[in-house]
Amino acid sequence: MYSEKVMDHFQNPRNMGEIEDASGVGTVGNAKCGDIMRIFLDIDEDGIIRDVKFKTFGCGAAVATSSMATELVKGKSIREALQVTNKAVMEALDGLPPVKVHCSLLAEEAIHAALWDYAEKNGITIEGLEKPKSDISEHEEEIVY
């Protein structure tokens, strides 16, 4: 049911934890399952994501997708981080069962929320970044399985 990569990231999650004095912090939840994700970003003056950590009260698929998502945005620019969609994360994990696709949205939305927080704190606008949702189940219907 789950790929080896999903099992690996679930059993050995990368970048779990938190960053003190993070440049941006984003928290999102899914009202349907009650799971919550928080992402911490450390962004340097050149706009490069130097470090990223996540904390979750979520299912195994949420842990695995967040672990992979943090690996994909680490060391990247803000613009590159915006390209890390839940689809890209799922591809990097060799797929997820259809009923677990919504779990991968937690990581994507939490990264966007953390970038939004960073932009607000610094009084800047990040092109292509929309105001994050606090509840991802609002747009689950839009997901194409």
Q: Name the active-site residue from 103, 107, 110, 114.
A: 103
Long-range CB contacts for residues 18-22, cutoff 8 Å, separation at least 24 = 18/53, 18/55, 19/51, 19/52, 19/53, 22/114
**Least distance from ligand FES to the Cβ atom of residue 53, Å:** 18
User: In the structure encoding, which two tokens stand for residue 12, read together?
Assistant: 């050995």
Active-site residue flag, 59: no
Cβ 139 vs Cβ 131: under 8 Å:
no
CB of 67 to ligand FES, least distance (A): 13
We find the least distance from the C-beta atom of residue 27 to ligand FES, in angstroms, to be 14
Comparison of 78 and 102: residue with beta carbon closer to ligand FES: 102
Q: Measured from the CB atom, is 24 or 58 closer to ligand FES?
A: 58
Determine whether 33 is an active site residue. yes
Nearer to ligand FES, 37 or 43 (CB): 37
The residues, any chain, with a CB within 8 Å of residue 15's CB and separated by 6 or more, are: 52, 53, 54, 67, 70, 71, 74
**Active site residue: 33, 48, 92, 129, which one?**
33
Q: CB within 8 A of 125, min separation 6: which ones?
A: 119
Task: Output the smallest distance, CB 99 to ligand FES, in A.
Answer: 8
SS3 state of residue 24: strand
Applying CB under 6 A, the residues found at the interface with ligand FES are 30, 33, 35, 58-59, 61-62, 103, 106
Active-site positions? 33, 103
